[in-house]
Structure 1
């Protein structure tokens, strides 16, 4: 819409924001709020307590995630984060339109609440709500392909044809980065000490980023690591915040394997590669080769070394007759949703999709033939599957 449009991609783990046209978001903050006790209310009740952003070191047990598994559980927390973000960006540009990404499993009430916060409380002049998976597709440069996005709370798969999602073929797993963190937390720290929980969480995040990887063959990787002499692999040790050095077990190093072999971790769910294959098979037969040739990996979990290579191997094996199978990724794929939204903010084809504050205050528009009455929500046609 304009070069000064603010793009907000609010996920379960992190909130990414910035002005459209940039190659990456200018602001990335954890999607965490805390309720600090105050003089009027020193107890556990949230009434009249001070709302803050992030984790309060002095009160480390008061933080929470307002969005979990793609669902908003605390709108007050979401409003606080959005208010903080817009205040930062409005220092540069006071009156700027906003593009907010939303999960594909959107609830009409979520949309209504988003419009109310943005227009009534934050005085946004214009707003566009954009589908996260569709934005990841645009960031890749493809119009037809399959997007697999694995973030903090959800792993989602959606095939697209000519820029539009193929109905009833998308898949969602309520398994993602937070489950990997829970596994490492429980295996590293047998006793959950609330006093040190903040430092334990930081330790788990560091180990995930620096030590974990996806093996190409789990059995061979386990045999190799278990047969190494003690102390042979310096990269296998980690120094805890209290100065204690721990030796990571092979399964801790190979923890991201749970995306591909959930049964090894006693989880009754399909692997991500099986979910992708099931999604492709749900599409028309003539589209399947093209979708398999344009698999787009995005989200923070796909950054683990070996993830995209393993995914390609498991997708190509059932389709030996399709020599063009490919998995596309880039170094900024954890920002794919934001990057795609940054592109869309400039597109004139989306001009009619923007809603102004004036339109919001005037009330919902009349439904049209393209969007029937039962799917028409708050002045916008919304195809609810």
Structure 2
């Protein structure tokens, strides 16, 4: 397709969008909308409310995520976000085709609704719907490997061989970054309902991205953190907006352990590493060595310090006599789905998979 193709990757936590061929998405913002009452008609109905992007500082408790766990719950909010992306990219440019990545959990009705909005409301000339996991694979330049994608709402594992998905190995866990954020908010604020929800969210996010890490051994890391004198490690201290500080507990610093030991956090779900091992084990034995040597980790949760080492350690423990597992971490792994789609948008091999507005109208 043309170089001006708009690539949109709309996840549960963040929206990423930009023209194909760029090194990273131009727009990255939280997948959040807010509803605030109109001054003229301050009522609860949708006709009397104004829909906006993000969190409104004057109405901080009216925000919501229109996509949760990979499923669209609020199509009005989703359409509003897509409209903003299209208006931003169309300024001074021709009407552009759109490449849109979709979650493997999307139902046929969701796909039909996506086509309806894109072609009828946003008037795109042509559209390609691409699988998010497949795009993550192509972002690495590989055709064979196991993609492990852990984002805000879902953790997914999908093995591929020569570009073909091995469907028996697909694993989808409704367990991801939002669970870690929920744990931090509960442990930091307990039952103090006087603290605004938006402040809890911002504080939990700040601690997640700046002070949390994945331990190589939970017990040893706990012992080290507990033995440190108060205030001796600035990573254990969080500064509040008013200048006061609070000490983080060892489990708050080590919260990403949740992905490897969910039972420690009272979560009844398989660990990320167990899902990966199960996925590889159901594949043909002859393919397993090659899959182990190409484990592709992507998504925001793979950004924590120590993640790749811990994943390699878990795989080595489960395959002691097998080939050495190699976990690949790209520098742009937070945007790997978008990056892969940006690459695919240029490929002539996908030309037949594009749908035009004329074809949509005929169908």
Q: How would you bin the TM-score normalised by the shorter chain? A: over 0.9
Aligned to 1:250: 250
C-alpha distance in 1 between matches for 2:30 and 2:289: 38
Residue in structure 1 matched with residue 260 of structure 2 by the alignment: 260
Q: Distance in 1 between matches of 2:161 and 2:107?
A: 24
Question: What does 1:250-289 correspond to in 2, within 5 Å?
Answer: 250-289=250-289
Query: In structure 1, the residue corresponding to 2:296 is in which secondary structure?
Result: strand
Q: Distance in 1 between matches of 2:112 and 2:234?
A: 53
Structure 1 segments (4+ residues) deviating >6 Å = none
Aligned length: 363
- 1:322 aligns to what? 322
Q: What stretches of structure 2 of length at least 5 have no aligned partner?
A: none
1:122 corresponding residue in structure 2: 122
Q: Which residue of 1 aligns with 2:216?
A: 216
SS in 2 for 1:7: strand
Q: Which residue of 1 aligns with 2:134?
A: 134
- Could you give the per-residue CA deviations for residues 72-94 of structure 1, whole angstroms, max 9, x where no partner exists? 00001000000000000001423
Mean alpha-carbon deviation: is it higher for 128-137 or for 186-195? Answer: 186-195
1:203–1:241: 8 Å Cα contact kept in structure 2?
Answer: no
Cα deviation, 1:27-63, whole Å, max 9, x if unaligned, reads 1011111111013431333333111111100001111
Secondary structure of 2:168's counterpart equals coil
Note the residue ranges of structure 1 that are not aligned, 5 or more in a row: 364-385
Residue in structure 1 matched with residue 354 of structure 2 by the alignment: 354
Secondary structure of the 1:84 match is helix
Deviation at 1:2, TM superposition (A): 1.4
Give the C-alpha shift of residue 198 in structure 1: 1.3
| Contact 2:289–2:323 (8 Å) recurs in 1 | no
**TM superposition shift of 1:195:** 5.4
Give the corresponding residue for 1:370.
Answer: none
Question: 1:104 aligns to what?
Answer: 104
Counterpart residue number, 1:60: 60
- Partner residue, 1:310: 310
Structure-to-structure mapping, 1:27-106, within 5 angstroms:
27-106=27-106
SS at match of 1:317: helix
Q: 1:34 & 1:244 partners in 2: Cα distance?
A: 30
What does 1:334-345 correspond to in 2, within 5 Å? 334-345=334-345
Aligned twin of 1:371: none
1:205 aligns with 2:188: no
Q: Tell me if structure 2 keeps the 8 A contact 1:61–1:194.
A: no
Aligned to 1:7: 7
Whether contact under 8 Å (1:199, 1:241) holds in the other structure is no
Determine helix, strand or coil for the equivalent of 2:167: coil
Deviation string 1:295-329 (CA, Å, 9 cap, x unpaired) is: 00000000000011100110122212333310001
SS at match of 1:112: helix
Task: Specify the alignment match of 1:381 in structure 2.
Answer: none
- CA distance in 2 between counterparts of 1:153 and 1:133 reads 15
**Which shows bigger deviation, 194-203 or 220-229?**
194-203
CA separation in 1, counterparts of 2:266 and 2:76? Answer: 37
